[in-house]
Amino acid sequence: MGALTAGLSGLTALVSDLASGARARGTVWGYRGAWTAVRRMPERAAYGAFDAVADLMVRRGGKGLARMRANYAKVRPELDDKALDALVREGMRSYLRYFCEAFRLPDRTPADLDRMCRAVNDEAVRASLSAGRSAVIFIAHMGNWDIAGAWSTSHLAPVTTVAERLKPEEVFREFFEFRASLGMTILPLTGGPNPFTGLRAAVERGDFIALVSDRDLTSNGVEVDFFGERARMAKGPALLALLTGAPLYAASIHFAPAGPGRGAAGRETVVTFSDEIPVPADGDNAAKAQAMTQACAAYLEGPIREHTADWHMMQRVFVEDLDPARTGK
């Protein structure tokens, strides 16, 4: 019981730091303690404990929670304060569900993944991969992208993705090795070779390339219309598709009630693909990349509005909230 208490206490600090982008405060032991303790717990007990941690974090508040609330207010402007507070609580529970599943994922079997994840509108993606062509997927910070990645590796094609380097370095290495153990190729965004070179090689191999791109991490992204506001998103998926000829899709990921024999603790991960994003006939690559990124953003508006709590956006994404140094204005 002591290990469990220490692990969950450390988890609270860990998630607070990772979500806010702050320099972690002693989170390495918290991460490892939570990793060990959560994998030993019965399934429903583990999810219940993470709900409790989520509720505690909501009561404590902080910059990450305030940013989530502000982002949700733009997505769901019709909500009053009470409804928005309830949505933030639901959103934090969803985010902690992601961490609970991530900690337990190394023990999951292929049969577990089959019952925990399913895809919708994946026929075109499967056809491309079956023909030996890569598929580039623009995804948002939604649901559980690690479960989706592990499922895709065994059901679609080898997965390649880019990961933001976390602080401290030990936590980043733990996440790096964890995702690699699931069969995914992980390219660090910074601190290594140019990830775009690795992505082009992945296209040549015919990989399934999933890139979390609903936030611009490099200051080289593009502005798009998003829920009636201007937002900055990464142009990498569109540019990669343009330069390699690989098809581009957007995909949403959300948690849904699971039927008998499916899911974990009553929920399953659902990955829904868009139709192929068309390449504009006119304009240079910069203009085409902007238009294709806009198309991805437009597709994601519907799922994010419908499943707002599963959009784990605790950082600044809308232009009016960004530091002017990030926007060049």
Q: Which CATH class is domain 108-327?
A: alpha beta
CB under 8 Å to 123, separation ≥6 — which residues? Answer: none
Residue 282's pLDDT is: 95
CA 2 to chain centre: 31
Predicted local distance difference test score (pLDDT) of residue 287: 97
**Sequence-separated (6 or more) residues with CB below 8 Å from residue 42:** none
pLDDT given for residue 164 in this prediction: 74
Cα(140)–Cα(131) distance, rounded to whole angstroms? 26
Q: Where are the domains of the chain?
A: 2-106, 108-327
Name which of 148, 119, 122 is nearest 249 in CA terms: 122
Q: What is the pLDDT along the chain (329 residues), one digit of tens a residue?
A: 333 333 444 455 555 554 444 444 455 666 666 677 788 889 899 999 899 989 999 999 999 999 999 999 999 999 999 999 999 999 999 999 998 888 888 888 889 999 999 999 999 999 999 999 999 999 999 999 989 999 999 899 999 999 776 566 666 677 777 777 778 898 988 777 889 999 999 999 999 999 999 998 777 899 999 999 999 999 999 999 999 999 999 999 999 999 999 999 999 999 999 999 999 999 999 999 999 999 999 999 999 999 999 999 999 999 999 876 555 55
pLDDT of residue 90: 98
- The pLDDT score that the predictor gives to residue 20 is 46
The two three-digit tokens of residue 169, written as one number? 């370095």
Q: What is the pLDDT of residue 169?
A: 64
> What is the distance between the terminal CA atoms of the chain, rounded to a whole angstrom?
53
- Placement of tokens 């007990």 in the chain: 45
What is the model's pTM? 0.89
Alpha-carbon span 35 to 54, nearest angstrom: 17
Radius of gyration, alpha carbons of the chain: 19
| Whether 91 contacts 311, CB under 8 Å | yes
Residue 184 · residue 202 · CB < 8 Å: no
Kindly give the pairing relationship between strand 267-273 and strand 248-257. antiparallel
Label residue 194 exposed, middle or buried (CB < 10 Å: 0-12, 13-18, 19+).
exposed
Beta carbons within 10 angstroms of residue 7's beta carbon: 25
Unique residue bearing structure tokens 């709900």? 51
Give residue 4's pLDDT: 39
pLDDT score at 291:
98
What is the pLDDT at residue 18? 47
